[in-house]
Amino acid sequence: MNHEKYLKQTIQLAVENARNDGGPFGALVVDKQGIVVGTGQNKVTSSNDPTAHAEIQAIREACNKLETFQLSDCILYTSCEPCPMCLGAIYWARVEKVYYAADQKLAAAGGFDDQFIYEEINKTYEQRKIPFYTIDLSEKNAPFEEWLKQDNKVEY
């Protein structure tokens, strides 16, 4: 597997996207045979979707194409070290491994600093910029009770 080749392609996608009014990020999902099964470019502003990061786009396309919700045999290549949201998506998609080009510091220098989100994770709910509230409803466990009752559930 030529990791450098795929990583360079993500940079091309990112440069091309930046040139066309998109965010400067690109990503690819590549399967075991070396076939590109998912391509992603940052479409946050063009699609009014704050979750449309390149990695998420590539994961969605790959899952759609392979008709699966797990990319266990795939590698994710991305032009930049994934943000905390994409990090979560990468774990949920269970890709085999990740290769990235630019790191968090370069992203921050380019105007994309996600350090504050990492810092938020370690704060108590009271200290966070976006407050979280829980209300103690008696039926709060109903979704899990229903889930556990199902005989033909697809576990993930």
Q: What is the DSSP letter of 127?
A: G
What is the rounded CA–CA span in Å between residue 25 and residue 136? 41
CB-nearer residue toward Zn ion: 43 or 53: 53
Residue 53 as a binder of Zn ion (CB under 5 A): the answer is: yes
CB-nearer residue toward Zn ion: 7 or 85: 85
Residue 90 as a binder of Zn ion (CB under 5 A): the answer is: no
Residue 43 as a binder of Zn ion (CB under 5 A): the answer is: no
The answer to whether 58 touches 66, Cβ cutoff 8 Å, is no
Which of 86, 90, 95, 102: binder of Zn ion (CB under 5 A)?
86
Q: What spatial distance separates the first Cα and last Cα of the chain, rounded to whole Å?
A: 28
Q: What is the DSSP letter of 125?
A: G
Task: Please name the amino acid found at residue 15.
Answer: V
Residue 27 as a binder of Zn ion (CB under 5 A): the answer is: no
Q: How many CB atoms lie within 10 A of CB 87?
A: 16
Residue 58 as a binder of Zn ion (CB under 5 A): the answer is: no
Active site residues: 55
CB-nearer residue toward Zn ion: 35 or 117: 117
- Positions touching Zn ion (CB under 5 A) are 53, 83, 85-86
